[in-house]
């Protein structure tokens, strides 16, 4: 019943707006019944707003809002680290992501710190997450995990903090790379070129390593076939 009455009201309102009918003052309390709940009026307003928004979209007045689909690339965003360093950090992240949901929550962080030999209190663990938790979801995604090492390399972590202990005990050396600052524009350009060349060299090294492994596998397979044929 409430749905039918609401539909009739909205239909009549559209007719009034188009000039098909003259507005008539009514006693809403009498029309709706003295015991109708006030949530009906709220639903009326909400549904009316949705219908108005839909009408605007149909007429081209409004625009559909698409959610942000920004893709995170650690190699381009964290250029201060080598590909090997980032891969080591990713390996460590996945090692302690026991639920395999691409997050390290408070309990997983607790286990990590215990295995690293630097156990933290419950409050200490919460403070560790809070320091790099940019989206405020109470857990660490891989990007936020990388922020720990960026802060450590930049010297932004207190030496007695849990995050400093994590970065120090992780055995991932970031001190030699760090966040480098060039004194002059020329030095900055040279540094950018060197980093670009280093990045390309690392990719070539990975490709050569994959080729070498594939060749070794091929040779082992051929040797096995040769040995197998000798027994026939």
pLDDT number for residue 50: 66
- Which pLDDT tens digit goes with each residue over 87-111? 999 999 999 999 999 999 999 999 9
Q: Which conformational region is residue 117 in: left (phi greater than 0), alpha (psi within -120 to 50 degrees), or beta?
A: left
pTM over 0.95: no
The per-residue pLDDT for range 55-83, each reduced to its tens digit, is 666 666 555 555 445 688 999 999 999 99
Residue 161, pLDDT > 60, answer yes
pLDDT at position 2 over 70: no
- Average pLDDT rounded to a whole number, residues 39-55: 64
At residue 105, what are phi and psi to the nearest 5 degrees? -90, -175
Q: Which residues contact 132 (CB under 8 A, 6 or more apart)?
A: 140, 144, 145, 147, 148, 151, 163
Of residues 156 and 42, the one with the higher pLDDT is 156
pLDDT value at 124 more than 70: yes
Predicted pLDDT of residue 182: 37
Q: In whole angstroms, give the CA distance from residue 54 to residue 50.
A: 6
- As a whole number, the mean pLDDT across the chain is 76
Q: What is the predicted pLDDT for the residue at 146? A: 96
């Amino acid at each position: 019943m409430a749905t039918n009455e609401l539909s009739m009201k909205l239909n009549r309102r559209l007719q009034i707006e188009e000039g098909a009918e003259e507005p008539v003052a009514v006693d809403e309390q009498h029309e709706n019944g003295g015991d109708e709940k006030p949530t009906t009026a709220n639903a009326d307003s909400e549904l009316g707003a949705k219908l108005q928004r839909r009408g605007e979209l149909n007429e081209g007045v409004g625009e559909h809002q698409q959610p942000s689909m920004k893709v995170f690339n650690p190699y381009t965003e964290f250029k201060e680290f080598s590909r090997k360093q980032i891969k080591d950090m990713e390996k460590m992240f996945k090692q302690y992501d026991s639920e395999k949901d691409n997050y390290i929550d408070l309990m997983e962080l607790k286990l990590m710190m215990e295995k690293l030999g630097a156990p933290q209190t419950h409050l200490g663990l919460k403070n560790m997450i809070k320091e790099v938790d940019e989206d405020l979801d109470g857990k660490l995604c891989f990007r936020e995990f990388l922020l720990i090492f960026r802060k450590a390399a930049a010297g932004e972590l207190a030496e007695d903090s849990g995050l400093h202990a994590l970065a120090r005990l992780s055995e991932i050396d970031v001190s030699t790379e760090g966040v480098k600052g060039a004194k002059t524009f020329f030095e900055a350009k040279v540094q950018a070129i060197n980093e670009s060349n280093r990045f390309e060299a690392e990719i070539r090294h990975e490709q050569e390593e994959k080729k070498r492994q594939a060749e070794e596998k091929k040779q082992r397979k051929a040797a096995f076939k040769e040995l197998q044929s000798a027994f026939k």
